C-alpha cells in the first residue's frame, strides 16, 4: 500500500522472514568455509533449534549453535561475511555485501584494511595501514550501535559481533560530502 511493488515485496508471514534469515545464515557459512558442506552436515534438528533461538531472541542458544560452524582458526577461514550499510543525510541507504579476507600478508585483516580496500575514498592515501585508530572527521563506522576502532581485527568482529544471520553488519555514516553510494 503506497509502496511501489518493485521496491517492497509483500509480506506473507513469518515464513518469509525465516527463508530470508536462514538463507543469509547459509550464505555467511558458505563465505567462511568456501563450501556449502558445513551447512549440509549441520543436522536439521539443530537448524530448527537455531531458527527457534533466532525467532525468540535467545541469543545464548543462537550463539552456541553458530559457534559450532565458525572456522576454528584464521588459516582455515576463506572469507568473512561482511555487509556494509552506507548512508548519509543526503543520500539513500545502500547495502554492500563484500566478503573480507581474514588474513593479509599473514596478519589478521583489520577494519582499516577492509575499508581501505572496499571504500578507498574514505581513507586518504596518506593514512598508513593501521596508523589511524578512528575514521576521518565526520565518518562513523559502527556495529551494534558501537563505534569500531579501525585497528579492530575483522575476525574478532566476526567472532564477537556477528548478527544472528551470521554476518558482521557495519554501518558507515558519512557526512554530506559526496562520498556515498550515489556519488559516482
pLDDT confidence of residue 59: 86
What is the rounded average pLDDT of the residues 135-143?
A: 86
Who wins on pLDDT, 16 or 116?
116
Query: What's the whole-number mean pLDDT along residues 57-81?
Result: 84
Please report the pLDDT score of residue 6 as a whole number: 60
Site of grid cell 549440509: 40
Q: Per-residue confidence at 174, pLDDT binned at 50, 70, 90?
A: confident
The CA-atom distances, in angstroms, between 165 and each of 14, 43, 75, 91, 149 are 15, 18, 23, 26, 23
Q: How many Å is the maximal CA-CA distance in the chain? A: 52
Judge whether residue 152 has pLDDT over 90.
yes
Mean pLDDT, the chain, as a whole number? 82
Amino acid at each position: 500500500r503506497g509502496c511501489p511493488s518493485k521496491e517492497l515485496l509483500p509480506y506473507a508471514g513469518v515464513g518469509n522472514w525465516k527463508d530470508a534469515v536462514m538463507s543469509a545464515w547459509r550464505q555467511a557459512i558458505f563465505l567462511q568455509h568456501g563450501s556449502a558442506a558445513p551447512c549440509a552436515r549441520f543436522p536439521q534438528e539443530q537448524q530448527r533449534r537455531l531458527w527457534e533461538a533466532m525467532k525468540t531472541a535467545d541469543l545464548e542458544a543462537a550463539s552456541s549453535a553458530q559457534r559450532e560452524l565458525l572456522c576454528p582458526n584464521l588459516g582455515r577461514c576463506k572469507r568473512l561475511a561482511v555487509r556494509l550499510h552506507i548512508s548519509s543525510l543526503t543520500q539513500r541507504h545502500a547495502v554492500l555485501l563484500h566478503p573480507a579476507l581474514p588474513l593479509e600478508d599473514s596478519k589478521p585483516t583489520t577494519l582499516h584494511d577492509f575499508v581501505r580496500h572496499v571504500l578507498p575514498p574514505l581513507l586518504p592515501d596518506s593514512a598508513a595501514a593501521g596508523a589511524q585508530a578512528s575514521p576521518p572527521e565526520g565518518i562513523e563506522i559502527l556495529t551494534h550501535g558501537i563505534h569500531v576502532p579501525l585497528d579492530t581485527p575483522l575476525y574478532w568482529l566476526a567472532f564477537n559481533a556477528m548478527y544472528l544471520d551470521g554476518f558482521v553488519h557495519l554501518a558507515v555514516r558519512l557526512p554530506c560530502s559526496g562520498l556515498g553510494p550515489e556519488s559516482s
